[in-house]
Structure 1
Amino acid sequence: MQVEHVTIHGHRRAYVRTGSGPALLLLHGLGCDHTTWDPVIESLARRYTVIAPDLLGHGESDKPRADYSVGGYANGMRDLLSVLGIDRVTVVGHSLGGGVAMQFAYQFPERTERLVLVAPGGFGPEVTPLIRAVTSPGFHQVVGLLTMRGVKRLSTGGLRMLSRLPVTQVRDLGEVADVFDTFADSRSRAAIRHVVRAVVDWKGQVITMTDRAYLTEHMPICIIWGADDMVIPVRHAETAREVAPGARIEVVPNAGHFPHKDHPQRFVKLLNDFVRSTAPSAYDVEAWRETLRSGGDPSLKSAEAGERPIRAV
């Protein structure tokens, strides 16, 4: 698939657009790019118009000194979709992309039909120490040394060898090696550091969806997690179940942090079944206002608002 480019707000953004049908926006995780969806994008394109961008600071997109918050990313996705002439999408976000997807749905409910979160951030503080290390002083300089040609070959080769062992705890190290490869570019290192500092500190994740999860009451939501995820623990799926009881939770056996790569056919089936069995959310500004006022407490909603739910069409 050919990578296309468009300049928005002075920054060049890369994306792949393929297929036809209802629009599907695929958002990758930290240090990845649109190629993380390669195992599933061709199958998805048989049913959907698939848009898979490289987030700013990643892949072939520019890596400026800019706003790398999840809110900033959500704004960037709205603007990209507007330029491409796409008004409404089912948003699919993996890891960091899951946080961006949640923020997109919160900021732009009128443009969000469904929400699919794949091993997302935002449901608890725990995250792998490898990500927390990015916030440490000296990260930029130390990783610069570790990604020098000879050293990088040894370190990434070792990670990939470990990932082939029949041990669940090292399953995701091959993907970690791919991310580490991108750190050879000083601009990528700087961008990733800005991204991580916006969402993680030394204690773990600092952003959360739990205080706004009640807003998903009127929006179809599916959460997919690998049972052996060592990056963001699968037990966060139980938190998601508690704060978003209407969500469909799917835990994929024998999969790590990248279930769409570990079991692509299973992932595509789950996504297709979810889209096929749910009607897209339709935005009602009055119902949204009442939901915000009530904070998700049904007893605080006016009787009039109760007659105006956010409809499914």
Structure 2
Amino acid sequence: MRSRDVGGALRTCLRCAKSCGRQGRYNIPELAKKYKVYALDLLGFGWSEKAIIEYDATIWRDQVADFMKDIVKEPAILVGNSLGGFTALFTASELPQLVRGLVLLNTAGQFSDLNIKPVINNEKSAINKYLVNPMKQAFQRVFLGILFWQAKQPSRVKSVLKSVYINTSNVDDYLVESITRPAGDPNAGEVYYRLMTRFMMNQSNYTLDSILQKLSCPLLLLWGDLDPWVRPAKAVRIKEFYPNTSIVNLKAGHCPHDEVPELVNNALIDWLTSLDHEASFQMAQT
């Protein structure tokens, strides 16, 4: 596990991400002027260990929870983008005593689709167990192995980043290297395979609507409206499910914190300040 701890101790922010250290390059220094900031790479991503385990949302939830209990040692604001956002949301809903507030930037996760019929699991049948499933897994390994090799090439990484940044000026070699270097870990290919075949294929086990039903803290959505992967309608739907939500729309792509950092920092600090004022007012009333 890799983390960074910077800044003062007025309030605590924990940023959860697939690879947080370098994509937080424009945010962490500003936040650290007033807040104690921790940046945590999720297990299997960034500079954290490429553990050969069965990846599941509960793995990252427990990682964040353990980090907060052992290192942070006080309720914190969780901040996350994409899969890091989903992990922050899941953690906040499952362990509300650890979380003062939640900030999501173009979060991953999906809503349940009532029109999709549940898949019947026939894996226990002999033909599936001894013939179909082994052949399926062998094909997946070959296909995903080729896909991973292509995906970790610097030129491919830069191309994908440019497709999800509207202003590509911050898509530089420093950012590309922060993705390609961890991908060179000997276990990275196996982690990629497990993520794609286990976690990504089983997201329906953790739908956003079911998670939001358990959420109890204030929520801020900092949303890149021009994201080709996660559309702004998702932010609107989240607010419909969870009214204690503030939305700040940004003219940016999938990673607004790195693309328009000044706008993100200002919006985040304004929201944190409002939380502090509200907490002070409530204390004065007691």
Residue 201 of structure 1, CA deviation: 2.6
TM-score (norm 1): 0.69
Instruction: Name the amino acid aligned to 2:262.
Output: Q
Q: Aligned match of 2:233 in 230, 235, 238?
A: 235
Instruction: Name the amino acid aligned to 2:52.
Output: R
- For residues 172 and 240 of structure 1, do their structure 2 counterparts lie closer, same or farther at Cα, with a shift above 3 Å needed? farther
Task: Check the 8 A contact 2:81/2:107 in 1, yes or no.
Answer: yes
- Correspondence 1:48-127 to 2 at 5 A: 48-124=35-111
Say whether 1:226 aligns with 2:224: yes
- For residues 212 and 137 of structure 1, do their structure 2 counterparts lie closer, same or farther at Cα, with a shift above 3 Å needed? same
Question: SS in structure 1 opposite 2:187?
Answer: helix
Residue equivalent to 2:12: 23
Residue equivalent to 1:39: 26
Task: Check the 8 A contact 1:106/1:215 in 2, yes or no.
Answer: yes
Residue equivalent to 2:265: 268
Deviates more, 1:136-145 or 1:81-90: 136-145
TM-score (norm 2): 0.75
Q: Distance in 1 between matches of 2:39 and 2:111?
A: 27
Q: Distance in 2 between matches of 1:277 and 1:169?
A: 30
Task: Check the 8 A contact 1:229/1:256 in 2, yes or no.
Answer: yes
- Correspondence 1:192-211 to 2 at 5 A: 192-201=192-201, 207-211=206-210
Q: Distance in 2 between matches of 1:252 and 1:260?
A: 10
Question: SS in structure 2 opposite 1:142?
Answer: helix
Residue equivalent to 1:286: none
Residue 183 of structure 1, CA deviation: 3.4
Residue 155 of structure 1, CA deviation: 3.6
Supply the RMSD in Å over aligned alpha carbons. Answer: 3.6
Residue 227 of structure 1, CA deviation: 1.0
Greater helix proportion: 2
Task: Check the 8 A contact 2:154/2:177 in 1, yes or no.
Answer: no
Residue equivalent to 1:248: 246
Residue equivalent to 1:142: 146
- For residues 28 and 144 of structure 1, do their structure 2 counterparts lie closer, same or farther at Cα, with a shift above 3 Å needed? closer
User: Unpaired runs of 5+ in structure 1?
Assistant: 1-12, 127-134, 283-311
Q: Distance in 2 between matches of 1:98 and 1:89?
A: 15
Report the number of matched residues: 253
User: Unpaired runs of 5+ in structure 2?
Assistant: 114-138, 280-284
- For residues 251 and 140 of structure 1, do their structure 2 counterparts lie closer, same or farther at Cα, with a shift above 3 Å needed? same
Question: SS in structure 2 opposite 1:210?
Answer: helix
Higher RCO structure (Cα 8 Å, ≥6 apart): 2
- For residues 114 and 190 of structure 1, do their structure 2 counterparts lie closer, same or farther at Cα, with a shift above 3 Å needed? same
Residue 142 of structure 1, CA deviation: 0.4
Question: SS in structure 2 opposite 1:61?
Answer: coil
Residue 189 of structure 1, CA deviation: 2.7
Q: Distance in 1 between matches of 2:196 and 2:269?
A: 32
Question: SS in structure 2 opposite 1:50?
Answer: strand
Residue equivalent to 1:303: none
- For residues 37 and 208 of structure 1, do their structure 2 counterparts lie closer, same or farther at Cα, with a shift above 3 Å needed? same
Q: Distance in 2 between matches of 1:54 and 1:215?
A: 25
